[in-house]
Amino acid sequence: MNKNDLIEFLSEEYELTKTFAKELVETVFSKISEAASKGHEVSIFGFGSFKLVERKARKGRNPRTGEPVKIAASKSLKFKPSKSVKEAVNKKRAPARKK
Is the pLDDT score of 78 beyond 80?
A: yes
Q: Which residues contact 71 (CB under 8 A, 6 or more apart)?
A: 57, 58, 59, 60
pTM for the full predicted model: 0.72
pLDDT tens-digit series, residues 13-47: 999 999 999 999 999 999 999 999 899 999 999 99
Closest CA to 86 of 52, 32, 49: 49
Question: What mean pLDDT is predicted for residues 55-61?
Answer: 95
Cα–Cα distance, 42 to 33 (Å, whole number):
9
Percent of the chain beyond pLDDT 90? 90
Mean pLDDT, all residues of the chain: 92
pLDDT tens-digit series, residues 87-96: 999 987 666 6
Q: Look at residue 96 in the predicted model and tell me its pLDDT.
A: 66
Question: What mean pLDDT is predicted for residues 42-71?
Answer: 94
Task: Answer left, alpha or beta for residue 57, where phi above 0 means left and psi between -120 and 50 means alpha.
Answer: beta
